C-alpha cells in the first residue's frame, strides 16, 4: 500500500454506485485494499436508512459512513447526528406549498423536479438560517456550515487519519467541498463539469470502474500522479517577483550550505508553512534551532533536557493529537543524540506506514544520524517521501538517504557558497551541473539555488521568503534549558567569591543586570563574557558585540559610564534572543 495515502473517501450515487447499485468489482478491490490497511469512508447525501436499504452491508464494508451530506456519522454500528436537525418550521412551509420531501435525522431531502424558486421561497418565509445544497437533480436543506467536508473531517479524526493522508472521489456538486478538504480530490469520468474543473485528478473511467482504477493504484503502492497543486510551500521569489513553490507532499528535500548560511532558517520556513496547511511535522532538532516553531498553533515541543523523550511517546503525540512536534535534543550528548534519532526514525517510519503520521520528518544535522558509516536502511525509508534533510556536510550523508531526492536547496554563507556543499549538489545535478556552478558564483546571503532533480532536472535562483516565526539560532538550547555545570557562567566578585551561577541565557541576563559594578568590571576586563558567549553559546555575532563593550570597560570608565555599558550588554542579549519579537 501507499505510505502516503492511508484512507479513501468515496461518494455513493454516481461514483461507487450506478443506478443505485454498488459496483461489485469496486467492492472486491476495496475489500482487498482494506485488508492491506487502507481505511475506507463512504460519504453520501442519502438519508442513512435509505442508503442501508440499497446497500445493506455498507456498515460492514466501511470504517465509517458519512450520511446526509455530512450531517450524520455511522461507525461500528453507532449512529449520531453531527448537527442539530433543520427546524420543523421548514417541514410546515414545504407542506403548505405542496412540495414533496423526506426527513432524515438532520436534513430535509426535497423531491427531484421541484423548482429551486419554490424551495427558496418556502425556506425564506421561515426566517431561518439554512442552506440549500445541489446534488445533481436533488436538493437538500441543511443547517449552515454542514457539508461532506465537515462530516468527513469528523470521520477521519475518529479513525485516526489526517485529511492530508486521504483521497476523496466524487461526481456531483455536493462532493466539491469533500474533494477540496482531502489531500487529493478525484472526479470520476461521469462527474459534473464543475467538479472536474476543480478536481486534482479526473479519471478516464466512470462510476465503479473509476473507483477501481484508483484502488488498483493504491493497492500496488503506486501513488504517482495522485498529487494536488492546492497544497504548496512558497520558498521564495524570482527576480521578476513571481513565487517559487514546492509541493507540500510526496517530496524529499535536501537543504545544504556551510555553517551560518541559513539552513535552519530555510528548513523552518518550510516547516511553518506545512504546519499552517495542516500537515503534521516532526522536527528532530539537535541544536535547539527550531524551538520557536512550537509557538505555532497545533505544535508542541518535547525534550529540552539531558534525557530525550521516549520515541514511542513522540509517535503517540503525533498520532493521537495530530499535532506537530519539535524534539529538542540540544542538551543531549552527541552519541546519545544520534542513537536516539536512529531509534526514533525507525519508530516514526513504521507509524507512517500504518497511519501516515507524521507527514513530514525534518532532520537537522542529518549527516550525524544518517552517516555513511551506519546502516541507514534499517530505520530510514526515503520512498515514504516527506523528508527534509538539513546538513552542512552533505558528503557524509549515506547515499541511501539521498537516493530518492526531488529537490535540493543550496544556500550561500556571507562569504559565498561552501565548496563541499557545491560539489555535493553538482554531483547530482547531471546535465545542469555547469549551470549550478555558474549560478552559485553570484549567490549572496539570503538567496538560494533550487534544483529539481529527476527526469527533467532544472535549477533556478531565488530570494528566500520571510519567516512568520522569528528565527534565532540555538535560542531554546541556551535561553531556557539548563546547561551542564561545566558550561554555566559563574559570576564572581572582585574577591573571587561566587555571587551567582547562570545556567542559561535568561539567568545570565538576570545576573548581568543585578551584579555589582566590581563584579561586572572584573569579568569584562578579563573578557570572560565574550569568551563564554563564543565558546558555549556559539554566537559569534553576540560575542563580537560583547568584546567591543569589554574593551570600553577596560578603559576604566566612571561608575555612570560602567552602568551605561551594562545596559548595552543587556540590550545586546535582548535584541539577539528576545523570543517575544
pLDDT: is 535 or 315 the higher one? 315
pLDDT at 471: 57
pLDDT at 474: 52
H helices of 46-101, where? 48-54, 58-61, 88-96
pLDDT digits (tens, 9 = 90+) for 69-95: 999 999 877 899 999 999 999 999 999
Q: In the numeric block, which cell numbers belong to residue 417?
A: 557558497
Rounded-to-10 torsion of CA 50, 54, 56, 62: -80
Q: Is the dihedral of CA 53, 55, 57, 58 positive or negative?
A: negative
pLDDT digits (tens, 9 = 90+) for 534-566: 888 878 888 999 999 998 887 766 777 788 888
User: Taking the mean position of all CA atoms in its chain, how far away is CA 428?
Assistant: 27
Q: What gap in Å lies between CA 152 and CA 55, rounded to an integer?
A: 19
% of the chain surpassing 70 pLDDT: 96
Q: Is the dihedral of CA 3, 7, 12, 14 positive or negative?
A: negative
Domain 84-144 has CATH 3.90.660: no
Q: In the numeric block, which cell numbers belong to residue 527?
A: 573578557
pLDDT at 39: 95
Task: Count the residues in the chain.
Answer: 581
pLDDT at 579: 44
pLDDT at 342: 94
Q: Which part of the chain has CATH 3.40.50.1000?
A: 1-80+147-227
pLDDT: is 424 or 29 the higher one? 29
DSSP codes of every residue in 134-203? EETTEEEEE-TT--HHHHHHHHHHHTT--GGGEEEEE-SGGGHHHHHHSSEEEE-TTS-HHHHHH-SEE-
pLDDT at 116: 83
Q: What gap in Å lies between CA 105 and CA 71, rounded to an integer?
A: 8
pLDDT: is 63 or 571 the higher one? 63
- List the one residue out of 299, 310, 384, 296 whose CA is nearest residue 343: 310
DSSP codes of every residue in 440-455? HTT--BTEEEEEE-SS
Is the CB of residue 251 less than 8 Å from the CB of residue 295? no
pLDDT at 581: 33
pLDDT digits (tens, 9 = 90+) for 104-153: 999 999 987 888 888 888 888 888 888 888 877 788 999 999 999 999 99
Residues 6+ away with beta carbon under 8 Å from 514: 500
User: Taking the mean position of all CA atoms in its chain, how far away is CA 337?
Assistant: 23
* Residue 350 pLDDT exceeds 80: yes
Q: Is the dihedral of CA 527, 528, 534, 537 positive or negative?
A: negative
Rounded (5°) CA angle 391-347-162:
90
pLDDT-derived band at 478 (thresholds 50, 70, 90) equals low
Q: What gap in Å lies between CA 260 and CA 283, rounded to an integer?
A: 19
Q: What gap in Å lies between CA 79 and CA 569, rounded to an integer?
A: 64
pLDDT digits (tens, 9 = 90+) for 352-386: 988 889 999 999 999 999 998 778 877 788 888 99
* Residue 217 pLDDT exceeds 80: yes
What is the domain class of 232-464 according to CATH?
A: alpha beta
Lowest mean pLDDT among 33-47, 301-315, 564-578: 564-578
Provide mean pLDDT across the span 448-477: 81
Contacts of 290-295 with C-beta under 8 Å, sequence gap 24+, read: 290/264, 290/326, 290/362, 290/364, 291/326, 291/328, 291/475, 291/476, 291/477, 292/268, 292/469, 292/470, 292/471, 292/472, 292/475, 292/476, 292/579, 293/268, 293/324, 293/326, 293/469, 294/326, 295/469
pLDDT-derived band at 319 (thresholds 50, 70, 90) equals very high
- List the one residue out of 195, 250, 256 whose CA is nearest residue 224: 250
- List the one residue out of 289, 295, 330, 293 whose CA is nearest residue 482: 330
Residue 402 CA: distances (Å) to CA of 114, 162, 253, 366, 385: 60, 27, 9, 11, 11
* Residue 33 pLDDT exceeds 90: yes
pLDDT-derived band at 481 (thresholds 50, 70, 90) equals low
- List the one residue out of 85, 89, 112, 114 whose CA is nearest residue 99: 114
Instruction: Determine the longest span between alpha carbons in the chain, in angstroms.
Output: 99
pLDDT at 580: 37
| H/E run at residue 350 | helix 334-355
Q: Which part of the chain has CATH 3.90.1070?
A: 84-144
| H/E run at residue 513 | helix 505-514
Q: What gap in Å lies between CA 209 and CA 189, rounded to an integer?
A: 9
Q: Are strands 138-142 and 108-110 parallel, antiparallel or unpaired?
A: antiparallel
Answer CATH for 1-80+147-227 from 3.40.50.300, 3.40.50.1000, 3.30.499.10, 1.10.10.1400:
3.40.50.1000
Can the peptide bond before residue 126 be classed as cis, meaning omega within 30 degrees of 0? no
Residue 222 CA: distances (Å) to CA of 215, 264, 504: 10, 32, 50
* Residue 431 pLDDT exceeds 50: yes
pLDDT at 315: 96
pLDDT at 124: 87
Q: Which residues pair with residue 43 across a beta bridge?
A: 11, 66
DSSP tag of 412: -
Provide mean pLDDT across the span 192-216: 94
pLDDT at 480: 62
Lowest mean pLDDT among 253-262, 340-349, 566-575: 566-575
Query: What's the whole-number average pLDDT of the chain?
Result: 90
pLDDT: is 3 or 356 the higher one? 356
pLDDT at 448: 95
pLDDT: is 303 or 482 the higher one? 303
DSSP tag of 309: P
Q: What gap in Å lies between CA 329 and CA 338, rounded to an integer?
A: 10
pLDDT at 475: 53
Amino acid at each position: 500500500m501507499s505510505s502516503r495515502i492511508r484512507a479513501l473517501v468515496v461518494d455513493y450515487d454516481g461514483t461507487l454506485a450506478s443506478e443505485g447499485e454498488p459496483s461489485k468489482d469496486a467492492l472486491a478491490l476495496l475489500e482487498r485494499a482494506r485488508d492491506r490497511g487502507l481505511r475506507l469512508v463512504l460519504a453520501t447525501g442519502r438519508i442513512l436508512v435509505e442508503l442501508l436499504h440499497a446497500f445493506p452491508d455498507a456498515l460492514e464494508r466501511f470504517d465509517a459512513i458519512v450520511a446526509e451530506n455530512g450531517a450524520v456519522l455511522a461507525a461500528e454500528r453507532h449512529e449520531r447526528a453531527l448537527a442539530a436537525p433543520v427546524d420543523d418550521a421548514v417541514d410546515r412551509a414545504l407542506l403548505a406549498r405542496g412540495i414533496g420531501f423526506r426527513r432524515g435525522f438532520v436534513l430535509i431531502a426535497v423531491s427531484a423536479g421541484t423548482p429551486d424558486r419554490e424551495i427558496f421561497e418556502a425556506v425564506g418565509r421561515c426566517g431561518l438560517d439554512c442552506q440549500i445544497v445541489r446534488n445533481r437533480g436533488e436538493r437538500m436543506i441543511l443547517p449552515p456550515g454542514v457539508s461532506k467536508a465537515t462530516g468527513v473531517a469528523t470521520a477521519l479524526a475518529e479513525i485516526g487519519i489526517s485529511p492530508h493522508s486521504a483521497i476523496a472521489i466524487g461526481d456531483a456538486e455536493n462532493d466539491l467541498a469533500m474533494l477540496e478538504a482531502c489531500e487529493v480530490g478525484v472526479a470520476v469520468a461521469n462527474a459534473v463539469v464543475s467538479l472536474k474543473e476543480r478536481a486534482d485528478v479526473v479519471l478516464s473511467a466512470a462510476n465503479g470502474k473509476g473507483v477501481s482504477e484508483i484502488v488498483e493504484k493504491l493497492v500496488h503502492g503506486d501513488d504517482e500522479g495522485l498529487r494536488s497543486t492546492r497544497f504548496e510551500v512558497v520558498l521564495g521569489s524570482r527576480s521578476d517577483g513571481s513565487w517559487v513553490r514546492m509541493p507540500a507532499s510526496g517530496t524529499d528535500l535536501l537543504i545544504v550550505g556551510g555553517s551560518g548560511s541559513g539552513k535552519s532558517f530555510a528548513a523552518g520556513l518550510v516547516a511553518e508553512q506545512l504546519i499552517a496547511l495542516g500537515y503534521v511535522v516532526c522536527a528532530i532538532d539537535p541544536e535547539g534551532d527550531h524551538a520557536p516553531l512550537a509557538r505555532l498553533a497545533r505544535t508542541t515541543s518535547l525534550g529540552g533536557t539531558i534525557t530525550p523523550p521516549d520515541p514511542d511517546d513522540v509517535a503517540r503525540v503525533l498520532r493521537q493529537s495530530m499535532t506537530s512536534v519539535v524534539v529538542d535534543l540540544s542538551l543531549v550528548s552527541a552519541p546519545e543524540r544520534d542513537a536516539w534519532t536512529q531509534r526514533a526514525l525507525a519508530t516514526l517510519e513504521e507509524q507512517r506506514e500504518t497511519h501516515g503520521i507524521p507527514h513530514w520528518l525534518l532532520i537537522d544535522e542529518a549527516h550525524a544520524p544518517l552517516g555513511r558509516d551506519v546502516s541507514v536502511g534499517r530505520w530510514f525509508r526515503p520512498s515514504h517521501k516527506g523528508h527534509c534533510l538539513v546538513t552542512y556536510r552533505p558528503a557524509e550523508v549515506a547515499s541511501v538517504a539521498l537516493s530518492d531526492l526531488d529537490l535540493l536547496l543550496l544556500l550561500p554563507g556571507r562569504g559565498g557558497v561552501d565548496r563541499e556543499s557545491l560539489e555535493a549538489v553538482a554531483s547530482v545535478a547531471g546535465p545542469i551541473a555547469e549551470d549550478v556552478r555558474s549560478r552559485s558564483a553570484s549567490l549572496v546571503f539570503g538567496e538560494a539555488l533550487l534544483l529539481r532533480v529527476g527526469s527533467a532536472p532544472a535549477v533556478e535562483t531565488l530570494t528566500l521568503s520571510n519567516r512568520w516565526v522569528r528565527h534565532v539560532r540555538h535560542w531554546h538550547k541556551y535561553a531556557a534549558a539548563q546547561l551542564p555545570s561545566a558550561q554555566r557562567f559563574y559570576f564572581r566578585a572582585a574577591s573571587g567569591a561566587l555571587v551567582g551561577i547562570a545556567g542559561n541565557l535568561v539567568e545570565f541576563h538576570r545576573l548581568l543586570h543585578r551584579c555589582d559594578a566590581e563584579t561586572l568590571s572584573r569579568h569584562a576586563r578579563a573578557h570572560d563574557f565574550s569568551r563564554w558567549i563564543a565558546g558555549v553559546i556559539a554566537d559569534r555575532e553576540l560575542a563580537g558585540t560583547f568584546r567591543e563593550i569589554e574593551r570600553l570597560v577596560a578603559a576604566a570608565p566612571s561608575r555612570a559610564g560602567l552602568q551605561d555599558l551594562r545596559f548595552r550588554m543587556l540590550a545586546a542579549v535582548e535584541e539577539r534572543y528576545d523570543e517575544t519579537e
